[in-house]
Amino acid sequence: MKKLFTFLLGVSVCSIAANSQLLKKLGKKVENKSEQRADSKVDQTIDKGLDKTEDGIKNAGKDNGNTTTPGTNTNNSPNNNKKDTVAQENPMDTPPLKVYANYDFVPGDIILFEDNFTDDADGEFPSHWDLEAGQGILNKFSGSECFYLTDGNYARVMPLTKTKAYLTDPFTIEYDVYNPNNAAYGLMTFFRTADGSELGSMRVTPEDVSCSYADGKSLSGSLPKDIQYENFKNKWHHVAIAYKNKQIKIYVDQYRVLVIPNSGIVPEAVDFGGIGDPTNPIIFKNVRIAKGGDMNMLGKKFTETKIVTHGINFDIDKATIKPESMGTLNMIVQVMKDNPDIKFEIDGHTDNSGAAAHNLSLSQQRAGAVKDQLVTMGIDAARLTTKGWGDSKPISENSTIEGKANNRRVEFVKL
């Protein structure tokens, strides 16, 4: 039974090899599993995935005693009959801001697409996405809705945007990804043209970040040891991609892992996907695609009236600054050091979700949190004041997810 299963899985993986040079490599490894098991790191990962998948088949329909396994849908949705064995996440594994002290990623200043799935119901397919292949579904995990890619062969999803060609030079992409203990392949980002032609792909696994392109070029960079292999699994990780003049920089958590000086591609859109199954799904959330990036203000005399940022982010409905905000905060600190006479009013803004009074209070708390963080980073408190505006000064329509995302911002107004 195991040999037959291994052979069929190898055939399945090979059937998708045409989609990516990377998957060709993996397909060949899986195809040879019945003959021998190499002791390389990649094959060790595949071995675990095969064993886990086989166990899942053997135990299908059996009660394993875990009635509240994280990632398992526990409501009365149509997907309530599926189970997975995603390991329990440590709820305290969010790193402190100081871990990102040298982070230099600055996201784009105009949000083209953002989705944290708060508009969608558990157990449904998210309303702002389209399914191209495989299967996907929302499940609540670690306190928030997450996108699960659960197809055992190949899954691929794409954001629903106003236009087919929405990426412009430069652009940035961000998302949070969770890698279950025995998931072998990781989440892939596919770069493509507006008509769907694939230009290349980028993949994050517990071992490394790798990129391959339609012309056969392939590059990779290993993850730092403190987030590699076992340190990567069963934890959330923040992935950030910056594209400018065909150069691509890829960050995982606080590290810049891979720089591609000349990718040779000009993407117009992106898809997300990979190989997952109900036992070891691909899990991700907080997807953001933005126009612009790498704000070119450092080392220059600041003459603008204000800086509008979308890179200082907070936990939902809280004033807790997310660690990946440090790229933008580091940029503001450097601007203030380069311009020692400048003073800023820090203005907090929200979208119109919720009551106006609540939004006003929340925006003031967030502005205060930003000031406190800048002071800890060496800025004199006398150079900073704060003001919360709530949802009273939108810069975009609140009727779309990207409009709401653009309205959620922190501004630094010159005094």
Q: Output the pLDDT for position 153.
A: 73
pLDDT at position 169 over 80: yes
Instruction: Please tell me the distance from the alpha carbon of residue 386 to that of residue 395, in angstroms, as a whole number.
Output: 19
**Which ranges of 347-411 does DSSP label H, i.e. alpha helix?**
356-376, 401-407
In this prediction, residues 124-148 reach a mean pLDDT of 94
Q: How many CB atoms lie within 10 A of CB 118?
A: 12
In this prediction, residues 248-274 reach a mean pLDDT of 95
Lowest mean pLDDT among 85-94, 195-204, 276-285, 377-386: 85-94
Contact predicate 267/164, CB 8 Å: no
Task: Supply the mean pLDDT for the chain.
Answer: 80
pLDDT at position 291 over 90: yes
In this prediction, residues 152-177 reach a mean pLDDT of 93
Contact predicate 232/252, CB 8 Å: no
Question: Per DSSP, what are the bridge partners of residue 259?
Answer: 249
Q: Residue 32: exposed, middle, or buried by beta-carbon count in 10 A (0-12, 13-18, 19+)?
A: middle
Question: Nearest Cα to 153, choosing from 4, 53, 47?
Answer: 53
Question: Per DSSP, what are the bridge partners of residue 268?
Answer: none
The CATH superfamily assigned to 306-414 is: OmpA-like domain (3.30.1330.60)
Domain with CATH 3.30.1330.60 in the chain: 306-414
| Phi and psi torsions of 41, nearest 5° | -65, -35
Sheet with 187-192, strands from edge to edge, namely: 129-133, 155-159, 269-274, 187-192, 198-204, 208-213, 218-222
Helices (H) and strands (E) in the chain, counts: 6, 19
Q: Output the pLDDT for position 302.
A: 74
Q: Which helix (H) or strand (E) holds 27?
A: helix 21-31
Domain with CATH 2.60.120.200 in the chain: 97-291
Q: Is the alpha carbon torsion for 48, 236, 147, 120 positive or negative?
A: positive
Q: What is the CATH number of domain 97-291?
A: 2.60.120.200
Instruction: Please tell me the distance from the alpha carbon of residue 256 to that of residue 87, in angstroms, as a whole number.
Output: 27
pLDDT at position 388 over 50: yes
Question: Nearest Cα to 286, choosing from 415, 393, 405?
Answer: 405
Contact predicate 332/412, CB 8 Å: yes
Question: Nearest Cα to 269, choosing from 219, 197, 174?
Answer: 197
pLDDT tens by residue, 224-239: 999 999 999 999 999 9
pLDDT tens by residue, 113-123: 999 999 899 99
Which amino acid, one-letter code, is at 39? D
Instruction: Please tell me the distance from the alpha carbon of residue 389 to that of residue 360, in angstroms, as a whole number.
Output: 6
Contact predicate 12/153, CB 8 Å: yes
In this prediction, residues 79-105 reach a mean pLDDT of 61
Instruction: Please tell me the distance from the alpha carbon of residue 280 to that of residue 387, in angstroms, as a whole number.
Output: 46
In this prediction, residues 101-127 reach a mean pLDDT of 94
In this prediction, residues 358-384 reach a mean pLDDT of 98
In this prediction, residues 211-225 reach a mean pLDDT of 90
pLDDT at position 81 over 90: no
Q: Output the pLDDT for position 27.
A: 44
How far is residue 339 CA from its own chain's centroid?
Answer: 34
The pLDDT-based confidence of 183 (bands split at 50, 70, 90) is low
